[in-house]
Structure 1
Amino acid sequence: MKKTITTDMAPNALGPYSQGLEVNKVLYCSGQIGIDPQKGKLVGLDVVEQAKQALQNIKAIVNADGLGVDDIVKVTVFMTNIADFARVNEVYAEFFKSAPLLPARSAVGVQALPADAKIEIEAMAAKYC
């Protein structure tokens, strides 16, 4: 069974895709950039600000499916400047500080991201029955 997950607490999709899609108790969150969902604009030019907002957007999508941060099992981080890795790690560690187990993760340097964002983060979460 497939179920589309949407919330006003995360930005609207910038294209023809869902904020999240649950399939067989696994939630696939579309990549989130640092857009403030109320303003519809990037929160700032700094990668730290954008990373914090992107993670909050993911949290909102996960919460909309009845899950929490602890249910996130895989994260992929895309950065336009891989030299930002250490700064992003600090934000990431703070976001997941209460998680008993950290999710698996990949971090990738890319040439460009939508809306001139410096970072995009996608995640998968699982329902444990």
Structure 2
Amino acid sequence: MEKQIIKTSNAPAPIGPYNQAIKAGNTLYISGQVAIDPVTNEVKKGDVVAETHLVMKNLQAILTEAGYTFADVVKSTIFIMDMNDFGKINEVYGQYLDGSYPARETVQVAGLPKGVSVEISMIAVK
């Protein structure tokens, strides 16, 4: 099985030794995305709703670059700093999906890169 690196300038560049996504066969593995504006490379933090929208837009840009959509997502992992934000994050997350929701877990963590409030990774299959 061939491994293909997926890169787009419409999502933030990696902040470490990893890629935005890897396509292996018909499966796309998207690295965790945080609220970094791909145009300015600035972190947007403070408002968890705005952060989550930016994270979802970054994920959408990577999916699009690879030829996938949110409908192809089979698994999501959401990391959040404060479980009290779960409802707000969940509401935004749901706006990007068409009702055929993927499997998912949401985990509260002690810290996230760049001090953001939310990070989301995805796996998609065609």
The residue type paired with residue 62 of structure 1 is L
4+ residue runs over 6 A deviation: none
Secondary structure at the counterpart of residue 22 of structure 1: strand
Structure 1: state its 5+ residue gaps. Answer: none
Q: Which blocks of at least 5 consecutive residues in structure 2 are unaligned?
A: none
Structure-to-structure mapping, 1:12-51, within 5 angstroms? 12-51=13-52
SS of match in other structure, 2:28: strand
Q: Deviations over 1:87-110 (max 9, x none)?
A: 1111011111xx241111110000
1:101 corresponds to 2:113: no
Deviations 1:67-88 (A, max 9, x none): 1111111110000101100111
Count residues in correspondence: 125
- Which residue pairs with 2:78 in the alignment? 77
Q: How far did residue 43 of structure 1 move?
A: 2.5
Deviations 1:11-60 (A, max 9, x none): 00000100000112100000000111001112231111111101110111
What fraction of aligned residue pairs are identical, expressed as a percent?
37
Q: Secondary structure at the match of 1:36?
A: coil
Q: Give TM-score, length-normalised by structure 1.
A: 0.94
In structure 2, the CA distance between the partners of 1:86 and 1:100, relative to structure 1 (3 Å rule), is closer
User: What is the Cα-based RMSD across aligned positions, in Å?
Assistant: 0.9
Counterparts of 1:95 and 1:111, CA distance in 2: 27
